[in-house]
């Protein structure tokens, strides 16, 4: 199981994907994320652990209040996934020469 598998496994859950979308607006503490996805703090904590294990997010110690753990997005897994996607899409790039065939087959 390579990196991309771990990334896709982490992104497979709708709750975790929603967390990713929430973090696009900036770092947030765990509790705020739990409230946003309507889930108990322990349940979300497990999801955050999966996201951390996959390297998709990281927790920073919030400077002002040491009880808060601010979660932030990490770029590496996403760029790796995009690289794999580019490889897959090369499949159709190769067929550009016989583009009509592909369109007909796609119907």
Partner DNA sequence: GCAATAATCAGCGCTATCGTTAACGATTCA
Partner DNA sequence: TGAATCGTTAACGATAGCGCTGATTATTGC
Residues forming contacts to a copy of itself in the complex (CB under 8 A) are 1, 4-5, 8-9, 11-12, 14, 17, 20-21, 23-24, 60, 72-75, 78-79, 81-82, 85, 87-92, 105-106
Q: Which does 59 bind (CB under 5 to 8 A by kind): a copy of itself, DNA, none?
A: DNA
Using rule CB under 7 A, residue 32 touches DNA = yes
Stretch that binds DNA, among 17-25, 60-68, 77-85, 97-105 (CB under 7 A): 60-68
Q: Which does 77 bind (CB under 5 to 8 A by kind): DNA, a copy of itself, none?
A: none
Query: Alpha-carbon distance 47 to 19, whole Å?
Result: 9
Query: Alpha-carbon distance 59 to 38, whole Å?
Result: 21
- Choosing from 5, 8, 17, 49, the residue that interacts with DNA (CB under 7 A) is 49
Can you read off the two tokens belonging to residue 99?
């583009």
Query: Alpha-carbon distance 66 to 11, whole Å?
Result: 29
Element (H, E) at 60: strand 57-61
Can you read off the two tokens belonging to residue 88?
């897959």
């Amino acid at each position: 199981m390579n990196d991309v598998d771990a990334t896709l496994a982490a992104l497979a859950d709708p709750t975790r994907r929603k967390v990713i979308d929430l973090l696009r607006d900036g770092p947030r503490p765990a509790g705020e994320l739990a409230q946003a996805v309507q889930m108990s703090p322990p349940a979300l904590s497990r999801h955050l652990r999966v996201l951390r294990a996959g390297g998709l997010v990281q927790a920073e110690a919030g400077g002002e209040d040491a009880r808060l753990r601010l979660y932030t997005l990490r770029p590496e897994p996403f760029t790796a996934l995009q690289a794999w996607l580019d490889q897959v899409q090369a499949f159709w790039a190769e067929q550009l020469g016989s583009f009509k065939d592909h369109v007909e087959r796609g119907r």
